[in-house]
Amino acid sequence: MNSTATTEKHAIARPPSSALSSKDKLELHYFMRLTRECDNAILKLYKQGKIVGGAYSGYGNEATAVASAYALEDHDYVFPLHRDLGAHLVKGQSLRNIFLQQLGRASSATRGRDGTGHYADPSLKIYGNVSHLGAMIPVAVGVALAAKMRKEDAVVMTYIGDGGSSVGEFHEGVNMAAVMKLPLVVIIENNQFAYSTPIAKQFAAQKLSDRAIGYGIPGVTIDGTNVTRVYDECSKAVERARSGEGPSLIETITMRMHGHSASDDASYVPKGMVEEWKKKDPIERFERILVNDRVLNETSKRQMDEKISAEIDDAVGFALESPFPEGADAAEGVYAP
């Protein structure tokens, strides 16, 4: 993980969650809280008409996004989806850069040509998604192959949704990675709906991780709202990949607590389903554990809230005051000469 893990190559395996320090646990909590409040700020800006296009929320997915990336080292690569803002933050992306990107400013990663998570930051080994999510699997596999050929000792972690796991690129990419024993960790974020299509109408298998058998790799299905379980399984998969044993498939079970995007009212979701999943809120679950273990108390929680609020206010204010790209430059770098 970016702030606590060593940056040396051939790093030792990350400790299990039971051996994490109080500092590590508080950091996991901080990144989950920061992710949610950052998402809330994005939705607020969208409703104010300051963000155009799509605005997506990872509410309910914070444990998966944060804990998975927390298992990586600085020199590892990550390919987050649009609900994996937490992975961007854990990998070291600044809030200012995130809001510059969301607000389409000239100094953003895409120079105002795009918003959301459609960007790459090679300095942090972050390679964001394109809208055709399944198409990113072969790209991640290619990076894993390049890392192996260069003897980088690096692992590539990529994500896909339940819907995206049914497209051809997913099969082709994972199969190639398995055959070549590439250092890849694939996380399927099963959040119950592919846009408006429920999982019962998407696949006949009991678990998406069962597909791993066909590729000849390990597969596991876990509670994606349990931050320590996600961290432990991802740490094991990362260590397996780093040691040359090849890829793993991890299915995390969560719930998309908002619609597909901010413009989707999610009227197709059965009544009561969201309320049931609220009882499994990943942040509240982890907070109860931290309080019980005397790692967190009301004072430290309030201090963290104030810190996060100030950080987001600074980033939003900075981005709003930053200029848009010049209209004459709109096509620069978009089309081949």
Q: Check if the beta carbon of residue 113 is closer than 8 Å to that of residue 332.
A: no
Return the amino acid letter for 74.
Answer: D
DSSP bridge partners of 158: 79, 186
Instruction: Tell me if residue 260 is catalytic.
Output: yes
- Each as own residue / partner, the long-range contacts of residues 284-289 (CB below 8 Å, 24 or more positions apart, any chain) are 285/225, 285/226, 285/227, 286/28, 286/29, 286/32, 286/63, 286/227, 286/228, 287/29, 289/228
Cβ-count burial of 20 within 10 angstroms (0-12 exposed, 13-18 middle, 19+ buried)?
buried
Query: Which of 233, 206, 292 has its CA nearest to residue 25?
Result: 292
Could you tell me how many residues make up the chain? Answer: 337
Is 240 assigned a catalytic role? Answer: no
Measured between alpha carbons, how far is 44 from 49 in angstroms, rounded to an integer?
9
Where would I find the H helices in the chain? 22-47, 62-70, 85-90, 95-102, 136-149, 168-179, 212-215, 227-242, 273-278, 282-292, 298-321
CB-neighbour burial class of residue 18 (10 A; exposed 0-12, middle 13-18, buried 19+): exposed
First-residue to last-residue Cα distance in the chain: 40
Closest CA to 241 of 135, 141, 91, 120: 141
Say which of 132, 268, 288, 302 is annotated catalytic.
268
Read off φ and ψ for residue 127, nearest 5 degrees.
-130, 100
Catalytic residue flag (residue 256) = yes
Catalytic site residue from 75, 118, 229, 260: 260
The count of other CB atoms within 10 Å of the CB of residue 175 is 16
Location of structure tokens 């990350």: 14
Q: Which of 256, 294, 302, 335 is catalytic?
A: 256
Catalytic residues: 256, 260, 268
